[in-house]
Amino acid sequence: MLRRRLVLAAIVAGFGLMAAGQALAAEVKVAVAANFTEPAKEIAARFKARTGHDATLSFGSSGQFFAQIANGAPYEVFLSADAERPRKAEAEGLGVAGSRFTYATGRLVLYSKTPGLVDARGAVLKSGRFRKIAIADPRTAPYGEAAVETMRKLGVEAQLRPKLVQGASITQAYQFVDTGAAEVGFVALSQLAGATGGSRWVVPAALHTPIDQQAVLLKTGAGNAAATSFMAFLKGAEAKAIIRRYGYEVPRRP
């Protein structure tokens, strides 16, 4: 009889702990740069498994997100594709001072679904053996800005300008190439994770400003345990392993 009571008490206590854990679980709204879509989904799933908190992700261009945040959009964490906008958010009082850190450094790739079209040195840019080349909008997307810098450094910007098709984000730039609307395009290396077909050239880092992607805790999330926990999780070994797997470089220290 005593043993049965102890077992029942343990079961009740277990349910109590589960209920308490569910009651403590919260949600964080995260604005995520489009290039980081797939790793962010994996990180959010692991974050949920480890903490019980939900990370609700929205994807788009960094410039558009910054404009929305400045106009009162209810995001609590901002994962930008650059360092400039998180720095600006912090300077303008939209972000929590001291919370900003680099979570990944991205790599730009010239990509085509056509095997052999893109060579190992990117010489196809000078030969112009294509009708259209896709880039993300350089005004709002750091990968688009890096693409323009690359073309400028190679001396082909003026030559290629009539062939440019611009996507609102790096996701749309990739879609142009994937659907054949453009034969080649500048995309993020992370978008090609696991892909084996086509042809590509990983753009040397010296051809453009480093794509240091920074995160910042926004003032709207300062009092939310899920938001501060997400920022901490993003700095941890588990998140870094996911980020590396998608072709990003990860700083040893945030």
In this prediction, residue 253 carries a pLDDT of 64
Task: Sketch out the chain's domains with CATH numbers.
Answer: 22-105+212-245 (3.40.190.10), 108-202 (3.40.190.10)
**Residue 127 CA: distances (Å) to CA of 73, 123, 130, 204:** 45, 7, 9, 19
DSSP 161: G
pLDDT at 252: 72
DSSP structural state of residue 77: E
Q: How much is the pLDDT for 254?
A: 55
Task: Give pLDDT tens digits for 13-69.
Answer: 444 434 334 446 899 999 999 999 999 999 999 999 999 999 999 999 999 999 999
pLDDT of the residue at 251 = 83
Instruction: Specify whether the backbone of 93 is left (phi greater than 0), alpha (psi in -120 to 50) or beta.
Output: left
Could you give the angle at the alpha carbon of 80 between the alpha carbons of 219 and 94, nearest 5°? 20
Alpha carbons 56 and 132: distance in angstroms, whole number: 35
Which residues are 238's β-sheet partners? none
Instruction: Choose between 254 and 222: higher pLDDT.
Output: 222
Judging by beta carbons within 10 Å of its beta carbon (0-12, 13-18, 19+), is residue 42 exposed, middle or buried? middle
Question: Residue 206 burial (CB < 10 Å; 0-12/13-18/19+)?
Answer: exposed
Helix residue spans in the chain (DSSP H): 2-24, 37-51, 62-70, 84-91, 124-127, 142-154, 157-160, 170-179, 225-235, 237-245
For the stretch 227-247, pLDDT in tens is 999 999 999 999 999 999 999
**Across all residues in the chain, what is the average pLDDT?**
91
| Cα gap 32→207, rounded to integer Å | 25
Checking if the pLDDT of 94 tops 90, the result is yes
d(CA 195, CA 247): 12
* Coil, strand or helix at 177: helix
Q: Three-class SS of residue 135? A: strand
Q: What is the pLDDT of residue 195?
A: 84
So what's the pLDDT on residue 16? 42
Greater model confidence, 196 or 82: 82
Report yes or no on whether pTM surpasses 0.75.
yes
Structure tokens at 107: 């790599």
Residue 148, amino acid:
V
